[in-house]
């Protein structure tokens, strides 16, 4: 027994001093799988030592949630593997009755993500984060009868709000009269024709614009207006140079709303894995309605219910265990089993 204790003590010190996540996770899993041989007290002591000393190399960072490079849908990435190993570690800790370590990991995760959330603006959170990290984490905590608490809510809300919700643009505002978005070219004020075009487009009173010019200049204006069906373009050929007649059709706002509705619907579909009672318990009814069901976004005046048919829930209604029967995760963590084994500090 002393030899095993000394061996695992040395291994723990090596991981703490220079182990990276690629080494830490597999070693923890290997020790966990040998718990019947090593004894749970020794395994628990090893986990306590390694997780306390290597916490910063184990928790999930914002970089693990981002899309770094395009990958084929369903393809595995380094981030997928890190999330999978982190979830496996959470499950192992609860199996060993080390709930306090899970609390420490998730609280550290919350702090690390919160400290960097304002740098997420230019990043795209991976769709896989919902179905590949948040949903399995929720299922795992539910399976271990862990009661949702404010720190867990904060972690879920942080990822959903700053990773997904804040990337959605605001609902398009109806313009005044006939006003449209400006479409002048990138030459800016040096292009007189585009300056005239933008004056027409920005006018809430002008429905029609007549532009007499040679063919190359008329083509330039046509290219700026595009082919989205927002304008009717005709050419009068009664005299030279010919006249391009531009008629606003009043469809721009409708198209903007349709595009916005598709964006809301797509993001709503990403939340399908979380649409269940335990996720509601974690987030609370108000945040769940806002960040998972998109209830306010999907029922905005003039937009309608854009998300269509209700998706299946994470688990059947009422399946969530009574909160009073679950150990709490966060402010009142499950006490860890005190191991009688003490590691030998090796000089």
Of the candidates 152, 71, 161, 64, which has an alpha carbon nearest to the alpha carbon of residue 106?
152
Which pLDDT does position 31 carry in this prediction? 96
298 neighbors 289 (Cβ within 8 angstroms): no
- Domain boundary residue, one of 233, 249, 265: 249
- For 137, 163, 168, the CA distances from 117, given in Å and listed in that order, are 20, 8, 16
Q: Is residue 254 within 8 Å of 239, Cβ to Cβ? A: no
Q: Domain check: are 234 and 341 in the same one?
A: no
Q: How far apart are alpha carbons 177 and 207 in whole angstroms?
A: 9
Q: Give Cβ neighbours of residue 99 (< 8 Å, ≥ 6 apart).
A: 93, 146, 327, 329, 333, 334, 335, 336
Question: Considering its fold, how many domains does the chain have in total?
Answer: 2
The pTM of this model reads: 0.72
Distance of CA 103 to the CA centre of its chain: 22
Position of tokens 């998730």? 106
Residues 137 and 231 in one domain: no
For residue 79, pLDDT beyond 80:
no
pLDDT tens digits, residue range 167-196?
777 888 999 999 999 999 988 889 999 999
- Do 267 and 307 form a contact (C-beta atoms < 8 A)? no
SS3 assignment for 283-344: HCHHHHHHHCCCHHHHCCCCCCCCCCCCCCCCCCCCCCCCHHHCCECCCCCCCCCCCCCCCC
- Mark whether 167 and 192 lie in a shared domain: no
How many residues does the structure list for the chain?
Answer: 347
Which CATH number does the domain housing residue 212 bear? 3.30.1370
In this structure, are 162 and 242 located in the same domain? no
Instruction: Tell me: do 94 and 133 sit in the same domain.
Output: yes
pLDDT digits (tens, 9 = 90+) for 150-161: 889 999 999 898
Query: Over the range 218-243, which residues count as b (16 or more CB within 10 Å of their CB) and which as e?
Result: bebbbebbeeeebbeeeeeeeeeebb
Mean pLDDT for the stretch of residues 213-219: 96
Top mean-pLDDT range of 131-135, 203-207, 293-297 = 203-207
Among the candidates 249, 271, 297, a domain finishes at 249
Is a pLDDT exceeding 50 seen at residue 90?
A: yes
Contact 167, 124 (CB under 8 A): yes
């Amino acid at each position: 027994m002393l030899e095993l204790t000394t061996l695992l003590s040395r291994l723990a010190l090596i991981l703490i001093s220079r182990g990276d996540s690629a080494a830490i996770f597999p070693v923890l899993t290997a020790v966990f799988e040998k718990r019947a041989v090593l004894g749970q007290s020794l395994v628990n002591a090893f986990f306590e030592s390694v997780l306390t000393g290597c916490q910063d190399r184990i928790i999930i960072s914002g970089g693990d949630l981002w899309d770094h490079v395009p990958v084929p849908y369903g393809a595995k990435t380094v981030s997928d593997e890190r999330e999978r190993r982190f979830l496996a570690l959470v499950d192992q800790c609860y199996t060993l009755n080390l709930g306090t370590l899970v609390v420490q990991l998730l609280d550290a995760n919350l702090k690390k993500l919160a400290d960097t959330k304002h740098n997420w603006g230019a990043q795209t959170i991976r769709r896989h984060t919902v179905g590949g990290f948040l949903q399995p984490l929720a299922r795992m905590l539910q399976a271990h009868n862990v009661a949702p608490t404010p720190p867990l809510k904060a972690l879920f809300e942080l990822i959903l709000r700053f990773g997904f919700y804040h990337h959605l643009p605001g609902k398009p505002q109806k313009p005044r009269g006939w006003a449209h978005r400006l479409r002048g070219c990138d030459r800016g004020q040096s292009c007189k024709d585009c300056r005239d075009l933008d004056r027409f487009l920005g006018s809430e009173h002008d429905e029609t614009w007549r532009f007499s010019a040679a063919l190359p200049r008329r083509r330039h204006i046509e290219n700026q207006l595009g082919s989205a069906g927002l304008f009717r373009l005709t050419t009068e050929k009664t005299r030279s140079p010919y006249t391009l007649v531009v008629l606003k059709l009043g469809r721009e706002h409708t198209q903007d709303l349709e595009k916005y509705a598709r964006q809301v619907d797509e993001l709503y579909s990403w939340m399908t894995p979380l649409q269940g009672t335990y996720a509601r318990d974690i987030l609370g009814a108000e945040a769940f309605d806002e960040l998972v069901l998109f209830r306010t976004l999907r029922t905005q005046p003039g937009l309608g219910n854009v998300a269509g048919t209700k998706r299946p829930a994470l688990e059947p209604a009422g399946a969530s265990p009574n909160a009073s029967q679950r150990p709490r995760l966060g402010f009142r963590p499950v006490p860890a089993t005190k191991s009688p084994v003490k590691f030998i500090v090796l000089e």
